[in-house]
Structure 1
Amino acid sequence: MTKTALPLHADDLTGFVRALSRQLGETSPSHLKLMNMVARAAGFQNVQHMRSATAALRRIEARTDQAAPDMRSVERALRLFDAQGRLEQWHSKRAVQTISLWVLWSALPAGEVLQEPELNALLIAEHCFDDPAILRRTMISCGLLTRQRDGTDYQRVEREPPPEAKSAIRVIASRRRARLM
Protein backbone atom coordinates (compact mmCIF):
# COMPACT_ATOMS: atom_id res chain seq x y z
CA MET A 1 0.00 0.00 0.00
CA THR A 2 1.42 3.37 -1.00
CA LYS A 3 1.47 6.27 1.41
CA THR A 4 0.11 9.66 0.54
CA ALA A 5 2.37 12.48 1.66
CA LEU A 6 0.59 14.86 4.02
CA PRO A 7 2.04 18.38 4.08
CA LEU A 8 2.56 20.03 7.45
CA HIS A 9 2.77 23.79 7.80
CA ALA A 10 3.24 25.68 11.06
CA ASP A 11 3.18 29.48 10.97
CA ASP A 12 5.20 29.70 14.19
CA LEU A 13 7.69 27.05 15.25
CA THR A 14 7.66 28.18 18.90
CA GLY A 15 3.89 27.83 19.21
CA PHE A 16 3.99 24.45 17.48
CA VAL A 17 6.73 23.18 19.82
CA ARG A 18 4.89 24.46 22.92
CA ALA A 19 1.73 22.62 21.87
CA LEU A 20 3.77 19.48 21.22
CA SER A 21 5.48 19.83 24.61
CA ARG A 22 2.10 20.07 26.37
CA GLN A 23 0.99 16.89 24.59
CA LEU A 24 4.14 15.04 25.66
CA GLY A 25 3.69 16.18 29.26
CA GLU A 26 6.45 15.48 31.77
CA THR A 27 8.43 13.32 29.34
CA SER A 28 8.95 16.31 27.05
CA PRO A 29 12.54 17.42 26.45
CA SER A 30 13.50 21.07 27.01
CA HIS A 31 12.03 23.68 24.69
CA LEU A 32 15.31 24.18 22.78
CA LYS A 33 15.92 20.45 22.40
CA LEU A 34 12.40 19.96 21.08
CA MET A 35 12.80 22.87 18.64
CA ASN A 36 16.05 21.36 17.33
CA MET A 37 14.37 17.96 16.99
CA VAL A 38 11.53 19.45 14.93
CA ALA A 39 14.03 21.41 12.78
CA ARG A 40 16.03 18.21 12.10
CA ALA A 41 12.81 16.36 11.25
CA ALA A 42 12.13 19.11 8.69
CA GLY A 43 15.55 18.54 7.09
CA PHE A 44 17.64 21.23 8.78
CA GLN A 45 20.74 20.78 10.94
CA ASN A 46 19.18 22.66 13.87
CA VAL A 47 16.78 25.50 14.60
CA GLN A 48 19.43 28.14 13.82
CA HIS A 49 19.96 26.61 10.38
CA MET A 50 16.19 26.66 9.86
CA ARG A 51 16.01 30.37 10.84
CA SER A 52 18.85 31.40 8.55
CA ALA A 53 17.46 29.42 5.59
CA THR A 54 14.02 30.99 6.07
CA ALA A 55 15.50 34.49 6.35
CA ALA A 56 17.55 33.97 3.17
CA LEU A 57 14.46 32.76 1.30
CA ARG A 58 12.51 35.85 2.37
CA ARG A 59 15.33 38.14 1.22
CA ILE A 60 15.49 36.43 -2.18
CA GLU A 61 11.73 36.59 -2.64
CA ALA A 62 11.69 40.25 -1.67
CA ARG A 63 14.36 41.02 -4.27
CA THR A 64 12.64 39.21 -7.14
CA ASP A 65 9.10 40.37 -6.30
CA GLN A 66 9.98 43.99 -5.73
CA ALA A 67 12.22 44.77 -8.68
CA ALA A 68 12.58 48.55 -8.58
CA PRO A 69 11.79 50.27 -11.86
CA ASP A 70 14.27 52.62 -13.50
CA MET A 71 12.26 55.77 -12.84
CA ARG A 72 14.46 57.88 -15.11
CA SER A 73 13.39 55.78 -18.11
CA VAL A 74 9.78 55.92 -16.95
CA GLU A 75 9.99 59.70 -16.69
CA ARG A 76 11.46 59.94 -20.21
CA ALA A 77 8.65 57.78 -21.57
CA LEU A 78 5.93 59.72 -19.74
CA ARG A 79 7.16 62.99 -21.28
CA LEU A 80 6.18 61.56 -24.67
CA PHE A 81 2.49 61.33 -23.70
CA ASP A 82 0.03 64.23 -23.61
CA ALA A 83 -2.39 65.06 -20.79
CA GLN A 84 -4.99 62.69 -22.31
CA GLY A 85 -2.56 59.76 -22.36
CA ARG A 86 -1.84 59.77 -26.11
CA LEU A 87 1.68 59.21 -27.43
CA GLU A 88 2.80 62.52 -29.00
CA GLN A 89 6.19 61.56 -30.42
CA TRP A 90 8.40 58.56 -31.10
CA HIS A 91 11.58 58.57 -29.01
CA SER A 92 14.94 57.70 -30.57
CA LYS A 93 16.08 55.42 -27.72
CA ARG A 94 14.86 51.85 -27.89
CA ALA A 95 14.41 51.50 -24.10
CA VAL A 96 12.03 54.48 -24.01
CA GLN A 97 10.25 53.24 -27.14
CA THR A 98 9.68 49.88 -25.46
CA ILE A 99 8.10 51.46 -22.39
CA SER A 100 5.87 53.53 -24.69
CA LEU A 101 4.87 50.40 -26.60
CA TRP A 102 3.93 48.65 -23.37
CA VAL A 103 1.62 51.56 -22.58
CA LEU A 104 -0.01 51.20 -26.02
CA TRP A 105 -0.15 47.42 -25.51
CA SER A 106 -2.19 47.98 -22.35
CA ALA A 107 -4.85 49.81 -24.41
CA LEU A 108 -5.34 46.83 -26.73
CA PRO A 109 -8.06 44.27 -25.92
CA ALA A 110 -6.73 41.08 -24.37
CA GLY A 111 -7.45 37.80 -26.14
CA GLU A 112 -9.12 39.36 -29.18
CA VAL A 113 -8.05 38.80 -32.76
CA LEU A 114 -7.97 42.10 -34.66
CA GLN A 115 -7.78 42.86 -38.35
CA GLU A 116 -5.30 45.51 -39.48
CA PRO A 117 -7.91 48.30 -39.86
CA GLU A 118 -9.23 47.61 -36.34
CA LEU A 119 -5.75 47.63 -34.86
CA ASN A 120 -4.88 50.82 -36.74
CA ALA A 121 -8.01 52.52 -35.38
CA LEU A 122 -7.06 51.57 -31.82
CA LEU A 123 -3.47 52.76 -32.28
CA ILE A 124 -4.55 56.02 -33.96
CA ALA A 125 -6.77 56.76 -30.95
CA GLU A 126 -3.74 56.32 -28.68
CA HIS A 127 -1.12 58.38 -30.52
CA CYS A 128 -0.89 61.80 -32.24
CA PHE A 129 1.75 61.44 -34.96
CA ASP A 130 -0.36 59.35 -37.37
CA ASP A 131 1.98 56.42 -37.99
CA PRO A 132 0.31 53.22 -36.78
CA ALA A 133 2.53 51.13 -39.08
CA ILE A 134 5.73 51.89 -37.14
CA LEU A 135 3.94 51.14 -33.87
CA ARG A 136 2.53 47.87 -35.23
CA ARG A 137 5.87 46.70 -36.62
CA THR A 138 7.81 47.61 -33.51
CA MET A 139 5.25 45.95 -31.23
CA ILE A 140 5.62 42.77 -33.28
CA SER A 141 9.42 42.91 -33.16
CA CYS A 142 9.28 43.43 -29.36
CA GLY A 143 6.99 40.44 -28.96
CA LEU A 144 3.97 42.45 -27.78
CA LEU A 145 1.84 41.56 -30.82
CA THR A 146 1.58 38.58 -33.13
CA ARG A 147 0.18 38.41 -36.64
CA GLN A 148 -0.37 35.93 -39.40
CA ARG A 149 2.22 35.72 -42.19
CA ASP A 150 -0.16 37.45 -44.59
CA GLY A 151 -0.39 40.50 -42.29
CA THR A 152 -3.85 39.75 -40.87
CA ASP A 153 -5.17 38.57 -37.54
CA TYR A 154 -3.20 40.64 -35.05
CA GLN A 155 -3.36 39.65 -31.40
CA ARG A 156 -1.92 41.08 -28.21
CA VAL A 157 0.62 38.74 -26.56
CA GLU A 158 -0.25 38.24 -22.90
CA ARG A 159 2.87 38.70 -20.77
CA GLU A 160 3.89 40.38 -17.56
CA PRO A 161 5.11 43.94 -18.22
CA PRO A 162 8.50 44.89 -16.78
CA PRO A 163 8.51 47.17 -13.69
CA GLU A 164 9.16 50.32 -15.75
CA ALA A 165 6.23 49.57 -18.03
CA LYS A 166 3.94 48.87 -15.07
CA SER A 167 4.76 52.28 -13.61
CA ALA A 168 4.13 54.06 -16.90
CA ILE A 169 0.92 52.10 -17.56
CA ARG A 170 -0.48 53.15 -14.15
CA VAL A 171 0.13 56.85 -14.86
CA ILE A 172 -1.17 56.79 -18.44
CA ALA A 173 -4.22 54.68 -17.47
CA SER A 174 -5.39 57.47 -15.17
CA ARG A 175 -4.94 60.01 -17.99
CA ARG A 176 -6.90 57.75 -20.35
CA ARG A 177 -9.75 57.39 -17.87
CA ALA A 178 -9.96 61.19 -17.61
CA ARG A 179 -10.06 61.42 -21.42
CA LEU A 180 -12.77 58.81 -21.79
CA MET A 181 -15.07 60.34 -19.14
Structure 2
Amino acid sequence: MPESHPSFPETAERGRRLQPLHCEDLSTFAKSLRRELSDHLSAQGAPSDTAPSHLQLLNMLARAAGHRNLQALQAAPVTAVAEVDPWAATALPEPAANEDAAAPRESLSPNAAKALTQFDAWGRLARWPHKFSVQRLAMWALWTRFEPNRRYTEREVNELLKAWTTWGDHVTPRRELVEMKLISRLPDCSAYWKNPQRPSDEVQGLLRALRGQQKRPQRAG
Protein backbone atom coordinates (compact mmCIF):
# COMPACT_ATOMS: atom_id res chain seq x y z
CA MET A 1 0.00 0.00 0.00
CA PRO A 2 1.18 3.57 -0.57
CA GLU A 3 2.87 5.14 2.42
CA SER A 4 2.66 8.85 3.12
CA HIS A 5 5.13 10.85 5.15
CA PRO A 6 4.21 14.08 6.96
CA SER A 7 6.22 16.97 5.65
CA PHE A 8 5.69 20.66 6.32
CA PRO A 9 2.88 22.16 8.44
CA GLU A 10 -0.14 23.99 7.10
CA THR A 11 0.71 27.54 6.03
CA ALA A 12 -1.65 30.47 5.74
CA GLU A 13 0.19 31.64 2.64
CA ARG A 14 -0.55 28.52 0.63
CA GLY A 15 -3.50 27.18 2.59
CA ARG A 16 -2.50 23.56 2.17
CA ARG A 17 -0.14 20.97 3.58
CA LEU A 18 2.81 19.80 1.50
CA GLN A 19 2.40 16.03 1.64
CA PRO A 20 4.91 13.83 -0.21
CA LEU A 21 3.55 10.41 -1.15
CA HIS A 22 5.79 7.35 -1.22
CA CYS A 23 4.43 4.39 -3.19
CA GLU A 24 6.11 0.99 -2.80
CA ASP A 25 4.56 -0.42 -6.00
CA LEU A 26 3.01 1.81 -8.65
CA SER A 27 1.09 -1.04 -10.30
CA THR A 28 -0.61 -2.02 -7.03
CA PHE A 29 -1.36 1.63 -6.33
CA ALA A 30 -2.94 2.05 -9.80
CA LYS A 31 -5.07 -1.09 -9.34
CA SER A 32 -6.32 0.14 -5.98
CA LEU A 33 -7.08 3.56 -7.45
CA ARG A 34 -8.97 1.99 -10.36
CA ARG A 35 -11.14 0.00 -7.93
CA GLU A 36 -11.93 3.20 -6.04
CA LEU A 37 -12.82 4.97 -9.28
CA SER A 38 -15.02 2.09 -10.41
CA ASP A 39 -16.85 2.05 -7.07
CA HIS A 40 -17.30 5.81 -7.24
CA LEU A 41 -18.71 5.65 -10.77
CA SER A 42 -21.11 2.85 -9.78
CA ALA A 43 -22.32 4.89 -6.80
CA GLN A 44 -23.01 7.78 -9.17
CA GLY A 45 -25.00 5.54 -11.50
CA ALA A 46 -22.34 5.54 -14.23
CA PRO A 47 -20.96 2.36 -15.81
CA SER A 48 -17.95 1.21 -13.79
CA ASP A 49 -16.15 0.16 -16.96
CA THR A 50 -15.76 3.83 -17.92
CA ALA A 51 -12.88 4.09 -15.44
CA PRO A 52 -9.44 4.39 -17.09
CA SER A 53 -7.66 1.15 -17.86
CA HIS A 54 -4.76 0.00 -15.72
CA LEU A 55 -2.21 1.20 -18.30
CA GLN A 56 -4.00 4.53 -18.75
CA LEU A 57 -3.90 5.09 -14.98
CA LEU A 58 -0.20 4.25 -14.86
CA ASN A 59 0.50 6.88 -17.53
CA MET A 60 -1.74 9.40 -15.76
CA LEU A 61 0.12 8.89 -12.49
CA ALA A 62 3.46 9.23 -14.26
CA ARG A 63 2.37 12.52 -15.86
CA ALA A 64 1.04 13.79 -12.52
CA ALA A 65 4.51 13.17 -11.09
CA GLY A 66 6.06 15.33 -13.81
CA HIS A 67 7.14 12.66 -16.31
CA ARG A 68 6.20 12.38 -19.97
CA ASN A 69 4.75 8.89 -19.59
CA LEU A 70 5.23 5.62 -17.72
CA GLN A 71 8.33 4.74 -19.70
CA ALA A 72 9.96 8.05 -18.77
CA LEU A 73 9.13 7.45 -15.10
CA GLN A 74 10.63 3.96 -15.22
CA ALA A 75 13.79 5.35 -16.80
CA ALA A 76 14.20 8.05 -14.14
CA PRO A 77 16.71 7.46 -11.32
CA VAL A 78 15.09 6.23 -8.11
CA THR A 79 15.63 8.19 -4.89
CA ALA A 80 14.57 6.66 -1.60
CA VAL A 81 12.25 9.10 0.18
CA ALA A 82 13.54 8.27 3.62
CA GLU A 83 17.11 9.01 2.57
CA VAL A 84 16.53 12.44 1.03
CA ASP A 85 18.43 15.19 2.82
CA PRO A 86 18.02 18.62 1.17
CA TRP A 87 21.29 19.75 2.74
CA ALA A 88 23.32 16.86 1.36
CA ALA A 89 23.71 18.61 -2.00
CA THR A 90 26.17 21.11 -0.52
CA ALA A 91 29.10 20.00 1.58
CA LEU A 92 29.94 22.60 4.19
CA PRO A 93 32.86 22.54 6.62
CA GLU A 94 31.90 21.02 9.96
CA PRO A 95 32.35 23.35 12.96
CA ALA A 96 35.14 22.61 15.39
CA ALA A 97 34.22 20.39 18.33
CA ASN A 98 34.51 23.25 20.82
CA GLU A 99 32.75 25.81 18.65
CA ASP A 100 29.79 27.46 20.32
CA ALA A 101 26.54 26.50 18.56
CA ALA A 102 25.54 30.17 18.47
CA ALA A 103 28.78 31.28 16.84
CA PRO A 104 27.66 30.86 13.19
CA ARG A 105 24.70 33.21 13.75
CA GLU A 106 26.81 35.74 15.64
CA SER A 107 29.50 35.78 12.96
CA LEU A 108 27.11 36.42 10.08
CA SER A 109 27.54 39.51 7.97
CA PRO A 110 24.68 42.05 8.21
CA ASN A 111 23.32 40.92 4.84
CA ALA A 112 23.54 37.24 5.77
CA ALA A 113 21.82 37.91 9.10
CA LYS A 114 19.05 39.71 7.23
CA ALA A 115 18.79 36.86 4.71
CA LEU A 116 18.40 34.38 7.56
CA THR A 117 15.26 36.19 8.74
CA GLN A 118 13.64 35.66 5.34
CA PHE A 119 13.31 31.89 5.96
CA ASP A 120 10.76 30.13 8.13
CA ALA A 121 11.50 27.40 10.67
CA TRP A 122 11.31 24.72 7.97
CA GLY A 123 13.90 26.35 5.75
CA ARG A 124 11.47 27.79 3.21
CA LEU A 125 11.98 31.27 1.80
CA ALA A 126 8.95 33.07 3.22
CA ARG A 127 9.21 36.35 1.29
CA TRP A 128 11.16 37.97 -1.53
CA PRO A 129 13.83 40.18 0.10
CA HIS A 130 13.72 43.88 -0.77
CA LYS A 131 17.49 44.34 -0.81
CA PHE A 132 19.30 43.01 -3.88
CA SER A 133 22.32 41.71 -1.95
CA VAL A 134 20.03 39.82 0.43
CA GLN A 135 18.13 38.34 -2.50
CA ARG A 136 21.31 36.90 -3.93
CA LEU A 137 22.34 35.37 -0.62
CA ALA A 138 18.91 33.77 -0.26
CA MET A 139 19.29 32.16 -3.69
CA TRP A 140 22.20 30.09 -2.42
CA ALA A 141 19.88 28.39 0.05
CA LEU A 142 17.52 27.46 -2.80
CA TRP A 143 20.53 26.25 -4.81
CA THR A 144 21.24 23.66 -2.10
CA ARG A 145 17.81 22.11 -2.74
CA PHE A 146 18.86 20.95 -6.20
CA GLU A 147 20.62 17.61 -6.63
CA PRO A 148 23.96 17.58 -8.44
CA ASN A 149 24.37 15.62 -11.68
CA ARG A 150 20.65 15.59 -12.38
CA ARG A 151 18.60 17.04 -15.24
CA TYR A 152 15.32 18.68 -14.24
CA THR A 153 12.36 19.55 -16.43
CA GLU A 154 10.98 23.05 -16.04
CA ARG A 155 7.97 21.58 -14.27
CA GLU A 156 10.23 19.81 -11.77
CA VAL A 157 12.14 23.05 -11.13
CA ASN A 158 8.86 24.88 -10.59
CA GLU A 159 7.58 22.27 -8.15
CA LEU A 160 10.83 22.29 -6.20
CA LEU A 161 10.78 26.08 -5.88
CA LYS A 162 7.09 26.07 -4.92
CA ALA A 163 7.93 23.60 -2.14
CA TRP A 164 10.78 25.76 -0.78
CA THR A 165 9.08 29.18 -1.06
CA THR A 166 5.78 30.28 0.45
CA TRP A 167 4.75 33.60 -1.10
CA GLY A 168 3.38 32.21 -4.37
CA ASP A 169 6.00 33.32 -6.91
CA HIS A 170 8.40 30.63 -8.13
CA VAL A 171 9.27 32.40 -11.39
CA THR A 172 11.32 35.20 -9.80
CA PRO A 173 13.71 32.92 -7.87
CA ARG A 174 13.99 30.60 -10.88
CA ARG A 175 15.06 33.52 -13.08
CA GLU A 176 17.48 34.77 -10.43
CA LEU A 177 19.07 31.33 -10.01
CA VAL A 178 19.71 31.23 -13.76
CA GLU A 179 21.04 34.79 -13.87
CA MET A 180 23.41 34.01 -11.01
CA LYS A 181 24.52 30.89 -12.91
CA LEU A 182 23.66 28.75 -9.92
CA ILE A 183 21.58 26.66 -12.30
CA SER A 184 21.70 26.46 -16.08
CA ARG A 185 19.13 25.53 -18.69
CA LEU A 186 18.84 24.67 -22.35
CA PRO A 187 17.70 27.49 -24.67
CA ASP A 188 14.25 25.90 -25.06
CA CYS A 189 13.96 25.46 -21.24
CA SER A 190 13.49 21.71 -21.67
CA ALA A 191 16.21 20.89 -19.14
CA TYR A 192 17.76 22.53 -16.09
CA TRP A 193 20.72 21.47 -13.99
CA LYS A 194 22.65 22.61 -10.94
CA ASN A 195 26.05 24.20 -11.53
CA PRO A 196 28.87 23.23 -9.15
CA GLN A 197 29.89 26.27 -7.15
CA ARG A 198 32.06 27.12 -4.17
CA PRO A 199 30.07 29.30 -1.75
CA SER A 200 31.92 32.22 -0.22
CA ASP A 201 32.59 32.35 3.51
CA GLU A 202 29.61 34.68 3.87
CA VAL A 203 27.32 32.22 2.09
CA GLN A 204 28.67 29.25 4.03
CA GLY A 205 27.95 31.07 7.28
CA LEU A 206 24.37 31.70 6.19
CA LEU A 207 23.84 28.07 5.13
CA ARG A 208 25.22 26.75 8.41
CA ALA A 209 22.99 29.09 10.42
CA LEU A 210 19.95 28.19 8.32
CA ARG A 211 20.67 24.49 8.73
CA GLY A 212 21.04 24.96 12.48
CA GLN A 213 17.67 26.66 12.91
CA GLN A 214 15.70 24.42 10.53
CA LYS A 215 13.19 21.98 11.93
CA ARG A 216 13.27 18.51 10.41
CA PRO A 217 10.04 16.93 9.08
CA GLN A 218 8.82 14.14 11.32
CA ARG A 219 8.59 10.75 9.67
CA ALA A 220 5.74 8.36 10.24
CA GLY A 221 6.60 5.32 12.36
TM-score when normalising by structure 1? 0.58
Match in the other structure for 2:139: 101
SS of the residue corresponding to residue 84 of structure 1 reads coil
SS of the residue corresponding to residue 119 of structure 1 reads helix
Match in the other structure for 1:163: 201
Aligned-residue identity in percent: 27
Q: Say if 1:87 and 1:134 are closer, same or farther in 2 by CA, change over 3 A.
A: same
Please, which of 117, 122, 137 is the counterpart of residue 84 of structure 1? 122
Please, which of 191, 194, 198 is the counterpart of residue 153 of structure 1? 191
Shift of 1:172: 2.2
| Whole-angstrom CA distance in 1 between matches of 2:149 and 2:209 | 23
Q: Considering only CA atoms, is the larger Rg found in Structure 1 or Structure 2?
A: 1
Matched letter for residue 190 of structure 2? T
Q: Say if 1:153 and 1:175 are closer, same or farther in 2 by CA, change over 3 A.
A: farther
Question: Which structure's residues are more often helix, by fraction?
Answer: 1
Q: Say if 1:100 and 1:148 are closer, same or farther in 2 by CA, change over 3 A.
A: same
Match in the other structure for 2:25: none
Displaced runs of 4+ in structure 1, greater than 3 A?
174-177
Are 2:149 and 2:193, in contact at CA under 8 Å, matched by a contact in 1?
A: yes
Q: Say if 1:70 and 1:173 are closer, same or farther in 2 by CA, change over 3 A.
A: closer
| Whole-angstrom CA distance in 1 between matches of 2:182 and 2:173 | 11
Residue by residue over 1:118-176, the C-alpha shift from the partner in whole angstroms, topping out at 9 and shown as x without a partner, is 11111111110121111110010011010000012111110101112111111223444
Matched letter for residue 168 of structure 1? L
**CA RMSD of superposed structures (Å):** 1.7
Residue by residue over 1:30-60, the C-alpha shift from the partner in whole angstroms, topping out at 9 and shown as x without a partner, is xxxxxxxxxxxxxxxxxxxxxxxxxxxxxxx
| Whole-angstrom CA distance in 2 between matches of 1:146 and 1:139 | 8
Instruction: Give unmatched runs, 5+ long, in structure 1.
Output: 1-68
Please, which of 130, 133, 141 is the counterpart of residue 168 of structure 2? 130
| Whole-angstrom CA distance in 2 between matches of 1:135 and 1:180 | 27
Matched letter for residue 92 of structure 1? H
| Whole-angstrom CA distance in 2 between matches of 1:165 and 1:93 | 16
| Whole-angstrom CA distance in 2 between matches of 1:131 and 1:165 | 23
Equivalent runs, 1:1-181 vs 2, <5 Å: 71-176=109-214, 178-179=216-217
